[in-house]
Amino acid sequence: MPKEIPGVKIDFFGRPMCGDCDAAKAVFKKVDVGFNYKDVRAEPEARSEAESICKGLKRELSVPVIVIHHRTDAVNGKIVFIEPREQGLRALEATLSAFVN
């Protein structure tokens, strides 16, 4: 069972049959971290939420959208990855690893 990280909630917005989504999921599996998957095709609320995140960053909806909500005594923030490709996947892995180590 994937690890839950105290003070961290991860939302993964994706869709079935998405190669980029599969590549990002492989990073989560490698680091052994769990996430909350939201299907933007099957769940209208998930699509709307993902579109809002992308719009706030002046981008069109493109999956995967990964939001890492983290809270400590000093920080209440979020890290957003939109359609991470090769470099983005390495950054995602490094970020997740930092939270678990």
* Whether pLDDT at 15 is above 90: yes
| Amino acid 74: pLDDT | 65
Single pTM value for the model = 0.91
Q: Classify domain 8-100 at the CATH class level.
A: alpha beta
Residue extents of the structural domains in the chain? 8-100
Q: What does the pLDDT look like over 32-72, one tens digit per residue?
A: 999 999 999 999 999 999 999 999 889 899 999 999 998 87
Answer yes or no: are the C-beta atoms of 68 and 75 closer than 8 Å. Answer: no
Other C-beta atoms lying within 10 Å of the C-beta of residue 13: 25
Tokens (6 digits) for 69:
């909500």
Query: Average model confidence (pLDDT) for the chain?
Result: 92
